[in-house]
Amino acid sequence: MDKEAQARIDVWKYALGFVEMEAVKCGIELGLPEALESHGKPISLSELSSAVACPEISLHRIMRFLTHNGIFEKQRPNPGSELFYAQTPLSRLLTRDNLGTFLLVQDGPPGPRFSLTAQDSKAGKGSGVEVSPEESKMWSMEFKTYGKMFQEFLASHAKVATSAVIENFPESFQGIGSLVDVGGHEGTAIGMLVKAFSWIRGINFDLPHVVSGAPILDGVEHIGGNMFESVPKADAVMLMWILHDWSDELCIDILKKCKEAIRKSGKVIIVEVVIDDDEEGNRDEYTGARLAMDMAIMGSTLNGKQERGIAKEWAQLLHAVGFGDHIIKHMKAIESVIEAYP
């Protein structure tokens, strides 16, 4: 791996370093070390879910992160058999009668923006199934007090992610005359795509108050609206870092509007963190950053999740929308590209 690629991975690790502590504290609060210890042998996800009263979907995400980081150990007796979890010397130190309580008192109480607690997990946070009246903390007024800094983050991320997409998948934009970037904020991503592929007419689509302050960009039209109501018509629609914020039900609503906006020969381009299944052969140097991002999304939203990146999860979601086919394209970056076809 070249130095630039390693640097990108390191930045994600530094930026998401707090997530590991939150996830470990959540595991201690749930009583995971005690549950495994009292079980006396490796335990299945369903058994562990019953033992700590946490939904399997949420618990699977937490255990996936903790096992990747060496807190617990995964065991599979035979290829293709059920996955079990086992204690490690480290997890045994995290029981409350050892050093577990010491970690719990670090950093004070969970912060108002990013937190992952046992209470949240038991209530189903992170399952991505139930719709809540306050679907995402990230868009609450509390979070918007950090609006300027957050917008700067979105713009900088859009530059990095879009550069990777342009470099790895230029063929994805062949034959596209018009492209809508849904939730494109000030138009960073669509501006870069139009510059790289001059034949594209770009549409930056976001809430009216967002696009009202967007800069003038060559080849890009700013349109205000609501993605839950309608999306501007175009040959293709792009969703970059949008779907992970929402529950399955609301993702289906968003994708339906996107599907309605494209012609029959068009497509929806989704740029998201994709997490493959738990098999070791599917891991690469970005796996740790992807799992940390999943914990960050789980902590900062009510029902968002990265886990839809698993092939069967995407198939189920896109099938529910009515897409006929889709393809997942991986690249050496934290994100991947999913193309969905009517």
Q: Which residues are known to be catalytic?
A: 244
Angstrom distance (rounded) from CA 247 to CA 334: 21
Please give the radius of gyration of the chain, using alpha carbons only, rounded to the nearest integer. 21
Residues 6 or more apart from 288 whose CB is under 8 A from it? 13, 68, 69
Angstrom distance (rounded) from CA 62 to CA 67: 9
Helix 287-300 to helix 56-68 angle (10° resolution) is 140
Give the helix ranges, DSSP H, for 1-129. 3-15, 17-30, 32-39, 45-52, 56-68, 89-92, 100-104, 118-122
Nearest CA to 100 out of 110, 115, 90 is that of 90
Number of other residues whose CB lies within 10 A of the CB of residue 23: 25
